[in-house]
Amino acid sequence: MFGLKVMKQRLGLIVAALVVLVAAVAGGIVARRAEQRIVTGTSADADAIIEHDYKEVLSLIANEYADEIDYEKASQAAIQGMLSTLDPHSTFFTRADYDKLKQDHDSEFFGIGVTILRHRDGVYVQSPVPNTPAARAGLRYGDRIVEVDGKDAREWTSEQVSKAVRGERGEPVNLKVERAGANAPFYFTIVRDAVSQPSIRTAYMIRPGTGYVALTGGFTNTTSDELESAIKRLKDEGLRQLVLDLRNNPGGLLKESINVASQFLPRGQTIVSVRGRGEYGAPQTFENTAYDPEDFPLVVLVNRNSASASEIVAGAIQDYGRGYLVGETTFGKGLVQRVFSLDYGTGLTLTTQKYYTPYGRSIQRDYSNGSLYDYYVRHDTDDEPRPSTPLTPTMSATPHAHTLEPTPTPTPHPPTGPAVRTAAGRVFYGGGGITPDIEVKPLDVSSPARGRIFEAAFQFTRELVAGQIPGLESYLVDKTLYGQFPRPTDYPVGERVLEAFRAHVRRDPESALTAAQIDADLDYVRLRIREEIVTAAYGNEASIRALLDSDPQLLRALEVFPDAKRLAEMVRNGASQS
């Protein structure tokens, strides 16, 4: 299984002759049988036609093109162009991208361990990850990264900075940063080491008896083990019911989605079935064969960026009535990709199967009409541009896993498949993702004014926690206290802080905020400033918990446990809804 990939670019149509150019340059990786199917379907003359066109085009390029030819780049473009005619998820990976893909599936990479975010004038440290080289070296919230290994990084994206600081284990990377309140820049030499990327980054007792687990980091080789450990720990703390958060989870490994769903569904029950064609296309049904499931009441949170493996879990739980789903309709990716290693360290993912929920719903959204841009990134017609947001399950914008820059959410999509009657007689439809039992919109961050508040709150808090705001020196943060969580009375955002924020905005014309906009949205201003302070003082996990206190989807989920419990009991007793 391969998760949702946001394509940075898609090429136009590639002439058929370039398919053979790919085969020639990349070492014969495209079989003639595949060429015939892709180009001409059943034509017996396909081979001769392609070779003729190839020779003619290659001769023209070699003899007449006005500049030097980058054959490697041409071959990569040809491969991706060919794959883009198949479906939105079959993708070619360069050597560097393929290495990162393998790192992502291994839940680990080599770097310095820091979350970063692009703001208006550069890339800033959001928070070092605990027990990583960045944390040990002394990087702090609000540090602006201006150079990486002597290269000017002020205009770089978060992705460019992230790639630059990753590398071989044990190799140093040199950073130059600007820190609020400091007269001179700071220089760091940080030795790269393994940095874990857990699937579960937040798991705690949100209320007495009620656990919360955010499975938002994709489905990797360790996901099911992480979930099992998190549930065991929460049960030791008194867990009697659970919120499982799958929002913004892009998917990942098929086997891990099966193992996760199996922890909630009885042995022998089907989790998912896959169907396809060719060598890897034999129909298969996957059941729970490994777990004795938990039976506590369950509510699952999903949104428009829950995709692929997360939709397998959500679909299975909904089909069997095991729990209630709350949030938004999911992305709608029901295609199974197999990863193929190619010569010279490159690779590709190729769709080989489609998957179906236990009762036979296809989750895949239609991609035959419209552009790939529409498939991946269009908003609702009334959506405004969304501001950049850090990685958090409470926001509906999807950040890249390592850059923390958002990508737009997909267009909502009506179901196109037939009605399917599931457990307890409930009826759902396929062909458009998983529709939750209860629709709840996320925290609204889409308005331009809130985007400006987001940016201004960061710039203000950067000065505040550096002790640079007169009269508010008590908000100085000398050291991030990882593993601790603030009390409601810690770092209050009262009138003195709000007035200092207003003064900051008046001194900062780039904020483009007016006093009226601030006063009209004071609750959001308080929320944003509070989250930034908590991030600086206690780290990312603490800030996520702070946001969850005001998360409308989570608050609604906490209300529906009685309904989820009744539904599960109805299914166990063999009853149907009237």
**pLDDT at residue 376 is higher than 60:** no
User: Choosing from 308, 396, 511, 543, which is the catalytic residue?
Assistant: 308
C-alpha 507/C-alpha 215 separation (Å) is 41
Shortest CA distance to 255 belongs to which of 224, 209, 215?
224
| Lowest model confidence (mean pLDDT) among 49-58, 104-113, 393-402, 420-429 | 393-402
Per the DSSP assignment, residues forming a β-bridge with 325 are 300
Split at pLDDT 50, 70, 90, the class of 102 is low
Burial class (CB in 10 A: 0-12, 13-18, 19+), 342: middle
**More confident position, 25 or 424:** 424
**pLDDT at residue 374 is higher than 60:** no
* Residues 397-426: tens digit of each pLDDT: 433 322 233 333 434 445 567 889 999 899
- With beta carbons less than 8 A apart as the criterion, state whether 225 and 261 touch: no
Give the model's pLDDT for residue 400.
30
The DSSP symbol for 88 reads T
**pLDDT at residue 534 is higher than 80:** yes
**pLDDT at residue 223 is higher than 90:** yes
Which residues have C-beta within 8 Å of that of residue 254, sequence separation ≥ 6? 1, 272, 274, 286, 309, 312, 336, 355
Residue that the structure tokens 């409930």 belong to: 426
Mean pLDDT of 62-78: 83
3-state secondary structure of 324: strand
Which residues have C-beta within 8 Å of that of residue 266, sequence separation ≥ 6? 288, 293
Give the model's pLDDT for residue 42.
47
Mean pLDDT of 22-32: 33
Q: Is 308 a catalytic residue?
A: yes
Give the model's pLDDT for residue 34.
38
**pLDDT at residue 163 is higher than 60:** yes
C-alpha 220/C-alpha 251 separation (Å) is 9
* Residues 434-474: tens digit of each pLDDT: 999 999 999 988 899 999 999 999 999 999 999 999 999 99
Domains, the chain: 17-85 (no CATH), 108-196 (2.30.42.10), 200-398+407-439 (3.90.226.10), 448-550 (no CATH)
**pLDDT at residue 566 is higher than 80:** yes
Task: Go through 250-276 and write b for each residue having 16 or more CB atoms within 10 A of its CB, e for each that does not.
Answer: bbbbbebbbbbbbbbbeeebbbbbbeb
Share of the chain above pLDDT 70, in %: 81
3-state secondary structure of 175: strand
Give the model's pLDDT for residue 455.
97
Among positive and negative, which fits the CA dihedral 89, 94, 96, 99?
Answer: positive
- With beta carbons less than 8 A apart as the criterion, state whether 113 and 129 touch: yes
The DSSP symbol for 475 reads G
| Ranges 31-45, 180-194, 332-346, most confident | 180-194
pTM of the model: 0.80
C-alpha 318/C-alpha 422 separation (Å) is 8
Give the model's pLDDT for residue 577.
61
Which residues have C-beta within 8 Å of that of residue 357, sequence separation ≥ 6? 272, 312, 315, 316, 318, 319, 363, 420, 430
Mean pLDDT of 47-51: 78
- With beta carbons less than 8 A apart as the criterion, state whether 411 and 379 touch: yes
3-state secondary structure of 151: strand
The structure tokens listed for 535 are: 């991030």
**pLDDT at residue 110 is higher than 70:** yes
**pLDDT at residue 43 is higher than 60:** no
User: Choosing from 104, 143, 319, 551, which is the catalytic residue?
Assistant: 319
Mean pLDDT of 305-319: 96
**More confident position, 394 or 525:** 525
E strand or H helix that includes residue 79: helix 71-84
- With beta carbons less than 8 A apart as the criterion, state whether 273 and 285 touch: yes
Give the model's pLDDT for residue 9.
33
| Ranges 69-83, 258-272, 395-409, most confident | 258-272
C-alpha 7/C-alpha 81 separation (Å) is 13
| Ranges 299-303, 347-351, 486-490, most confident | 299-303
Split at pLDDT 50, 70, 90, the class of 395 is low
Mean pLDDT of 195-202: 91
Give the model's pLDDT for residue 281.
67
Give the model's pLDDT for residue 51.
77
**pLDDT at residue 5 is higher than 70:** no
Give the model's pLDDT for residue 31.
35
Give the model's pLDDT for residue 416.
65
Give the model's pLDDT for residue 159.
92
- Residue-averaged pLDDT of the chain: 83
**More confident position, 195 or 179:** 179
State how beta strands 144-148 and 210-215 pair.
unpaired
Give the model's pLDDT for residue 338.
80
Give the model's pLDDT for residue 83.
81
Which residues have C-beta within 8 Å of that of residue 88, sequence separation ≥ 6? 7, 367, 372, 375, 376
Q: Is 578 a catalytic residue?
A: no
**More confident position, 199 or 76:** 199
Split at pLDDT 50, 70, 90, the class of 341 is confident
User: Choosing from 199, 333, 388, 396, which is the catalytic residue?
Assistant: 333
Q: Is 235 a catalytic residue?
A: no
**More confident position, 475 or 573:** 475
Share of the chain above pLDDT 90, in %: 60
**More confident position, 577 or 244:** 244
**pLDDT at residue 378 is higher than 70:** no
Mean pLDDT of 345-364: 89
